[in-house]
Amino acid sequence: MQLFTQRLILRPWRDSDRQPFAEMSEDADVMEYLRPLSTRDARNAWIDFQINHQSSHGFCMWAMESRASGIFMGAVGLLHVSFAARFTPAVEVGWRLARPFWEQGFAVEAARAALQFGFEEIRLAEIVAHASFRNGRSRRVMAKLGMSHDSAEDFDHPRIPENDPLRRQVLYRLTEPAFLSNS
Instruction: Give all domains of the chain, ordered by start, each with its CATH number.
Output: 3-182 (3.40.630.30)
> In the chain, which residues have pLDDT < 70?
none
Q: Which residues pair with 10 in a beta bridge?
A: 3, 64
The pLDDT of residue 29 is 96
Residues in CB range of 114: below 8 A, 6 or more apart: 3, 10, 59, 62, 76, 77, 78, 93
Residues 6+ apart with CB under 8 A from 10: 2, 3, 4, 62, 63, 64, 76, 77, 110, 113, 114
The pLDDT value given to residue 182:
80
pLDDT tens, 115-132?
Answer: 999 999 999 999 999 999
pTM above 0.75, yes or no: yes
User: For position 15, what pLDDT does the model report?
Assistant: 97
> Which of 119, 105, 181 lies closest to 148 in space, CA to CA?
181
Strands (E), 85-125: 91-97
